[in-house]
A and B are shown apart, each in its own frame.
Chain A
Amino acid sequence: MATIAEKILAAHAGRESISPGELANVSVDVVLANDITGPISIKEFRKLGVSRVFDPAKVVMVPDHFIPNKDIASAIQAKALRDFSREQGLVYFETGRAGIEHVLLPEQGLVGPGQVVIGADSHTCTYGALGAFATGMGSTDIAVAMATGDIWMKVPPTIKFVFHGQLQPWVGGKDLILHIIGDIGIDGALYAAMEFHGKAITSLNMDGRFTMANMAIEAGAKAGIFPVDAATEAYVAAHPPTSGPRPIVSYTTDSDADYSRVIEYDAGNIEPCVAFPHLPSNVKPLSQAGTVPIDQVVIGSCTNGRLGDLRIAADILRGQTIHPDVRCIVIPGSQRVYGDALDEGLLRVFVDAGAVVSTPTCGPCLGGYMGVLAPGERCLSTTNRNFVGRMGSPQSEVYLAGPAVAAASAIAGRIAGPAEQPSTRQEVPER
């Protein structure tokens, strides 16, 4: 009968059941904003005539986009976020104890299965990896939710994606989601919830699932949701909440749920994928990428800035040298990822190979700072968007891929697969 999305929304609307297309007022478990969207939310919140947020333990502010402050203007925005968070007693993460919001919140135990999470950031859908209904909205919606604790939503239809079979070596979550977006297009799941199933999904670790849920928005979706399984439960247990309670309920889709579409793939046929400029849907399998010389590689972001991603990149870069014509920038997604990568010696591998290792930040992902491209330059990036001008000059190009292809390309100086690297011919790390 009902999909996971429908069950979560029904429960949060105080209803027995709810159907796609219905409008409902749903209560929210977590409301999120960042240093770009937060200042507008705060300004709009002030206009509402309420003095306090509905529940300070459920409102999270993360400065991450232009952090550490890149200029005076961004410092003013970050200060607005900090001042408001202090005034209201919100959950706030200061630079040096923070990270990219969508890496940070799951890790801090602030989001979990069965929750409704809304954030003034389109990649809020990342938390669907934990079986939450999480979706991005704009600053004004967030302002209203901060005041009232609820928000209107239209219940989306759900599209089911099934990956049969086993993943090929070096194929991970990024490749699966790029494959889907390449197949259905950047509005292929417009207004819908995507639900991921199949043997290859069950075998995917949480980092890979976060990557997939993260890019649901790149297919136009409202949410990307994974059923809760042993891997989810283990992750949730290992990441207890650092502040406030975390209500968790695991919902499963009914066997006779009404999907608007069911799309099936054989994972065994999927190669590492690369999205060519200037759309995330302009996807080619690596074998058809041809010879594309590159100037820069970025490994990081809320898509692929987790420990598992850095491990894959380090396995390929260990003992190797970045190509003389390439700048390689590695950005751990959070302070915790940074520390763990330090302990595991991964940062040493990157530094020795000739890469820049940065403090956690969004930075180059949105062309903010630190890695901005000149006209005519090309970057292969593990981020999630390659629109015109996304990483700098409108005459630059961004290619999207997973961490394995990124690391291998940094060595080769052109888009390349890990299979070409001598250090990796023997072993394939666990994903």
Chain B
Amino acid sequence: MILQGRAHKYGADVDTDAIIPARYLNVSEPALLAEHCMEDIDPGFRQRVSKGDIVVATSNFGCGSSREHAPIALAACGVSCVIAHSFARIFFRNAINIGLPLLECPEAVGACEAGDILEVDLARGEISNRTRGTTCTAKPYPEFMTGIIDAGGLIPYTRRRLEGGHA
């Protein structure tokens, strides 16, 4: 799958309260969560973001709570993937489980400025910066996780497993 969009760039330790503040967690509908995505650290994000866009950050993206509302809100805003130096553990699982791809690639983060056009070849883990003409490769997923990603998330993956197919 090829993803393409504009980069929205952030620094280190973007926590889940920043991605979707807890005060909005009295609902769980993706569209309602999307309305408040990134609101406390980047109030203009909702207006700027469009389908396919890519969030880029440095280390420990998604730290804090276990709320799956965080990757859900990003995906519901149209974000097609997140590229960072590193991800917090629970956020990583959650994003993969709901089918939001994450890529660990400090090189791509370093070479990118806000607003750059990025293209990501998920199968090859290749990240191309169309604005700057650079290309780099992300850390590959463990094989097992590719299974979840290919199935489209943990639920379809598990369905297959429960139905006795090979997952």
Contacts and interface: CB of A to CB of B under 8 A. Distances in A.
A388 B14 CA distance: 10
Contacts, number: 141
A144 B40 CA distance: 32
Interface residues on A, range: 35 or more
A137 B90 contact: yes
A25 B155 CA distance: 16
A49 B163 CA distance: 9
Given A70-B26, A387-B17, A120 B66 contact: yes
Contacts of A387: 15, 17-18, 64
Contacts of B64: 122, 385, 387
Contact of A388 (B25, B41, B90, B154): B41
B18 A389 contact: yes
Interface stretch (B46-54, B91-99, B131-139): B91-99
B23 A368 contact: yes
Given A66-B26, A389-B18, A47 B89 contact: no
Contacts of B68: 37, 40, 120, 138-140
Contacts of B155: 44, 47-48, 140, 143-144
Contacts of B59: 187
B158 A40 contact: no
Contacts of A390: 17, 22
Contacts of B90: 122, 136-138
Given A23-B142, A73-B26, A388-B18, A187 B86 contact: yes
Contacts of B1: none
**Main DSSP-derived SS at the A contact region:** loop
Contacts of B21: 367, 389, 394
B162 A122 contact: no
Interface string A362-381: 00001110001000000000
B28 interface: yes
A237 B126 CA distance: 56
Contacts of A65: 25
Interface residues of B, number: 42
Interface string B33-58: 00000011100000000000000000
A222 B89 contact: yes
B17 to A, nearest CB: 4
Contacts of B65: 121-122, 366, 385
Given A50-B162, A141-B154, A387-B64, A394 B40 contact: yes
Contact of A220 (B26, B41, B60, B159): B60
A148 interface: yes
B94 A140 contact: yes
A392 B158 CA distance: 38
A385 B60 contact: no
A40 B25 CA distance: 11
B3 interface: no
A310 B18 CA distance: 31
Contacts of B153: 140
B93 A137 contact: yes
A214 to B, nearest CB: 13
Nearest to A139: B68
Contact of A190 (B26, B40, B89): B89
A77 B59 CA distance: 33
Contacts of A144: 154-155, 158
A390 B154 CA distance: 30
B13 to A, nearest CB: 6
13 contacts: A36-B25, A37-B67, A66-B26, A122-B65, A122-B66, A139-B94, A140-B68, A140-B97, A144-B154, A186-B63, A366-B25, A387-B64, A388-B15
